[in-house]
Structure 1
Amino acid sequence: MKRAYTNLTVQVLTAIALGVAVGALFPAVGAALKPVADTFISLIKMLIAPIVFLTVVLGIAGMGSLKKVGRVGGKALLYFEVVTTLALGVGVVVANLAQPGAGVQETAQAVLQDAKKAAEAAKFTAQAGEMDWVAFFTHIIPDNVVGAFAKGDILQVLLFSVLFGLALNRMGEYAQPLVKTFDRLSHAMFGVLALVMKLAPVGAFAGMAYTIGKYGVASLLPLGKLLLVVYATMFMFIFGVLNLILRAYKLRLGPYLRFIREEILLVLGTSSSESALPRMIDKMERYGCSRSVAGLVIPTGYSFNLDGTSIYLSIAVIFLAQAFHIPLSLSQQLTLIAILMVTSKGAAGVTGSGFIVLASTLAATRLVPVESVALLLGVDRFMSEARAITNVIGNGVATLVVAKSEGEFDEARHRLALLGRSVPEQERAEPAALLPRVEVPH
Structure 2
Amino acid sequence: MDRKLTWYILAGMVLGVIVGYAVHLGIPASDPWFEYLSKSFKLLSDIFLNLIKLLVAPLVLSTIVVGIAHMGDSSALGRIGVRAISWFIAASFISIALGLLMVNLFQPGVGAPIPDAAEAAKMVGEVKKLDAWEFTFSIFPKNALEALATNNILQILVFSIFAGVALSAIGERGAVLVRGADALAEMMLQITGYVMRFAPFAVFGAIANVVAKSGLAILSTYLELLVEFYASLVLLWIILLTAGWIFLRQRIWQLIRYIREPLLIAFSTASSEAALPKMFEQLDRFGIPRRISGFMLPLGYSFNLDGSMMYMSFATIFIAQAYGLDLSIATQVLILLTLMVSSKGIAAVPRASLVVITGTLAQFGLPVEGVAIILAIDQFLDMGRTATNVVGNAVATSVITKWEGMLQVPEPAEMELPHAPAHTSHHGARGLELAEDMVTDERGKPV
Whether these two folds match at TM > 0.5 is: yes
Other structure's SS at 2:415 match: coil
Task: For residue 369 of structure 1, report the CA deviation from its aligned partner.
Answer: 2.3
Match of 1:247 in 2: 245
Task: For residue 332 of structure 1, report the CA deviation from its aligned partner.
Answer: 1.7
Residue identity matched to 1:143? V
Match of 2:427 in 1: none
Match of 2:257 in 1: 258
Counterparts of residues 15-26 of structure 1 (less than 5 Å): none
Name the CA distance, whole Å, in 2 between partners of 1:110 and 1:263.
Answer: 44
Residue identity matched to 1:81? I
Task: For residue 105 of structure 1, report the CA deviation from its aligned partner.
Answer: 4.3
Other structure's SS at 1:143 match: helix
Contact 1:243 1:252 in 2 (8 A): no
Counterparts of residues 31-180 of structure 1 (less than 5 Å): 70-107=78-115, 109=117, 132-134=156-158, 136-137=160-161, 138=163, 143=176
Name the CA distance, whole Å, in 2 between partners of 1:305 and 1:424.
Answer: 26
Match of 1:42 in 2: none
Name the CA distance, whole Å, in 2 between partners of 1:350 and 1:22.
Answer: 16
Task: For residue 152 of structure 1, report the CA deviation from its aligned partner.
Answer: 7.9
Residue identity matched to 2:90? V
Match of 1:420 in 2: 414
Name the CA distance, whole Å, in 1 between partners of 2:319 and 2:289.
Answer: 43
Contact 1:287 1:422 in 2 (8 A): no
Name the CA distance, whole Å, in 2 between partners of 1:99 and 1:22.
Answer: 26
Name the CA distance, whole Å, in 2 between partners of 1:22 and 1:380.
Answer: 10
Name the CA distance, whole Å, in 2 between partners of 1:23 and 1:380.
Answer: 10
Residue identity matched to 1:246? G
Match of 1:344 in 2: 343
Counterparts of residues 218-367 of structure 1 (less than 5 Å): 221-238=220-237, 240-249=238-247, 250-366=249-365
TM-superposition CA deviations, 1:228-276 (whole Å, max 9, x none): 22222112211x1111012101145443233222222222222211212
Task: For residue 108 of structure 1, report the CA deviation from its aligned partner.
Answer: 5.4
- In structure 2, runs of 5+ residues without a counterpart are 16-69, 122-147, 168-174, 188-195, 208-215, 421-447
Other structure's SS at 2:281 match: helix
Other structure's SS at 1:370 match: coil
Q: Which moved more, 1:241-250 or 1:220-229?
A: 220-229
Residue identity matched to 2:404? E
Name the CA distance, whole Å, in 1 between partners of 2:100 and 2:227.
Answer: 15
Residue identity matched to 1:73? G
Name the CA distance, whole Å, in 2 between partners of 1:313 and 1:280.
Answer: 25
Contact 1:304 1:345 in 2 (8 A): yes
Other structure's SS at 1:91 match: helix
- In structure 1, runs of 5+ residues without a counterpart are 1-15, 29-55, 114-124, 155-206, 427-442
Task: For residue 79 of structure 1, report the CA deviation from its aligned partner.
Answer: 0.3
Task: For residue 95 of structure 1, report the CA deviation from its aligned partner.
Answer: 0.6
Question: CA distance change for structure 1 residues 220 and 345 in 2, over 3 Å: closer, same or farther?
Answer: farther
Question: CA distance change for structure 1 residues 383 and 425 in 2, over 3 Å: closer, same or farther?
Answer: closer
Name the CA distance, whole Å, in 1 between partners of 2:77 and 2:114.
Answer: 54
Question: CA distance change for structure 1 residues 106 and 283 in 2, over 3 Å: closer, same or farther?
Answer: same
Question: CA distance change for structure 1 residues 251 and 270 in 2, over 3 Å: closer, same or farther?
Answer: same
Name the CA distance, whole Å, in 2 between partners of 1:254 and 1:153.
Answer: 37
Name the CA distance, whole Å, in 1 between partners of 2:222 and 2:152.
Answer: 27
Contact 1:88 1:337 in 2 (8 A): yes
Contact 2:109 2:221 in 1 (8 A): no
Residue identity matched to 1:231? Y
Contact 2:362 2:368 in 1 (8 A): yes
Contact 2:88 2:304 in 1 (8 A): yes
Name the CA distance, whole Å, in 2 between partners of 1:293 and 1:251.
Answer: 21
Give me the CA root mean square deviation: 4.2
Name the CA distance, whole Å, in 1 between partners of 2:310 and 2:227.
Answer: 13
Task: For residue 145 of structure 1, report the CA deviation from its aligned partner.
Answer: 7.4
Residue identity matched to 2:85? L
Question: CA distance change for structure 1 residues 324 and 20 in 2, over 3 Å: closer, same or farther?
Answer: closer
Q: Which has the higher helix share?
A: 1
Name the CA distance, whole Å, in 2 between partners of 1:351 and 1:96.
Answer: 26
Aligned length: 307
Question: CA distance change for structure 1 residues 107 and 22 in 2, over 3 Å: closer, same or farther?
Answer: closer
Residue identity matched to 2:158? V
Match of 2:402 in 1: 404
Residue identity matched to 1:421? M
Other structure's SS at 1:394 match: helix
TM-score for the superposition, normalised by structure 1: 0.59
